[in-house]
Chains A and B, each alone.
Chain A
Amino acid sequence: MSFINYASREINCKIVYYGPGLCGKTTNLQYIYNKTAEGSKGKMISLATETERTLFFDFLPLALGEIRGFKTRFHLYTVPGQVFYDASRKLILKGVDGVVFVADSQEERFDANIESLENLRDNLEEQGFDIEKIPFVIQYNKRDLPNACDLEELSKALNPRRVPEFEACAPTGEGVFETLKAVAKLVLNDLKKGG
């Protein structure tokens, strides 16, 4: 749920990175953080376990610039991907404006992707959102690995709706900003319709 502040002339939007455990959600945010100019980003907060698995969420505030005199801010969140953190995932989805589904391209994670996408659909529904309508993009991450699935096969299984989709390798940044830009665009276009 975006926040439009006429007093300070700001728009704030919330984008959530979703996907199975270890698919690279946190790595996406870390790359964005590292490549964003000092003045355009806030502190990145990671509530993680000792082993760097996301425990509750990662949070990265970005101030991208102005549109029609309004400062445009995006608050990026990741959810914990591990199956048993479902209660936390539901909380992070509250008030979401756009979702990035990060898929793990590795063959052995094929089922985990499908399960996580189903879980996203259910949790969105619980918050009153329709996955068919919400601004939504898909990223096929870990394309650099030798055991990566065929792209077409992944797309067929995960993207029947034909939302914007991107290949990525989050640690090197390939596809990372393309993904963010695409979801931001959908969110702003949604705002334009008065949503």
Chain B
Amino acid sequence: MLSSQSSLVMYDEEYQKIMILIERLLRESNAKVIFLVDKDGQLIAATGETENLDTTSLASLTAGNIAATGGLAKLIGEKEFSILFHEGEKDNIHLSIVGGRVILVVIFDQRSSLGLVRLRVKKASNELAVILEDLVRKTQDQHSEFQASPFSEITDDDIDNLFN
């Protein structure tokens, strides 16, 4: 996995693969919404009924939630809790850590069940982990190329303009 200081990078190819995978998971698990969040709280991808959902806030709180339970886990001598489940009156949230680095979030209601979600998530997680590994490898391979990316030409003016 990437070290804590290197950037997470997403490319078109892997993004498409991830979207296909979570769209399939959405259908097969009868879920309402699925999204993928970096452990640091950055939203990576989302699908389903996301129109009325504040996905940015959701991503940040999801990461906070995983971080807090991860802290609890360490206190009792566990590495982490890799699956969390929150049950609501109508909607439920299933959180799982994939590849040690990314959080897969499934929101579902009575049209699905915890058993079904668990089963489908397990299968999808393995495939997702492979894509994420590819992504990490690609990021490392392209790191020298990345130096020549658009950001290497950022000027002070570009930055000043952001605040106008």
Contact = CB atoms under 8 A, between A and B. Distances in A.
Contacts of B2: 1
A46 to B, nearest CB: 11
B56 interface: yes
Contact of A72 (B39, B67, B146, B162): B162
A14 B16 CA distance: 25
Interface size class of B (residues with CB under 8 A): 35 or more
B14 to A, nearest CB: 8
A45 B61 contact: yes
Given A43-B54, A87-B71, A129-B5, A4 B10 contact: yes
Given A188-B154, A191-B151, A192-B151, A57 B7 contact: no
Interface string B34-64: 0000111110100000000010110011001
A56 B60 CA distance: 12
Nearest to A96: B40
Interface in B139-164: 143, 146-147, 149-154, 156, 158-159, 161-163
Contacts of B5: 1, 128-129, 195
B115 to A, nearest CB: 31
Interface in A161-195: 177, 181, 184-185, 188-189, 191-192, 194-195
A1 to B, nearest CB: 6
Interface string A90-102: 1110110000000
A42 B15 CA distance: 24
Contacts, number: 141
B139 to A, nearest CB: 9
A69 B110 CA distance: 42
Contact of A67 (B38, B54, B154): B154
Interface in B50-100: 54, 56-57, 60-61, 64, 67-68, 70-71
Given A1-B6, A68-B151, A129-B5, 20 more contacts: A1-B4, A2-B7, A2-B8, A3-B9, A3-B10, A3-B42, A5-B15, A5-B44, A7-B12, A8-B15, A43-B54, A61-B60, A69-B150, A75-B42, A90-B71, A91-B71, A95-B39, A95-B40, A177-B163, A192-B153
15 contacts: A4-B149, A6-B9, A6-B12, A42-B54, A75-B60, A92-B67, A94-B40, A95-B4, A128-B4, A129-B5, A181-B163, A184-B163, A185-B159, A191-B154, A195-B6
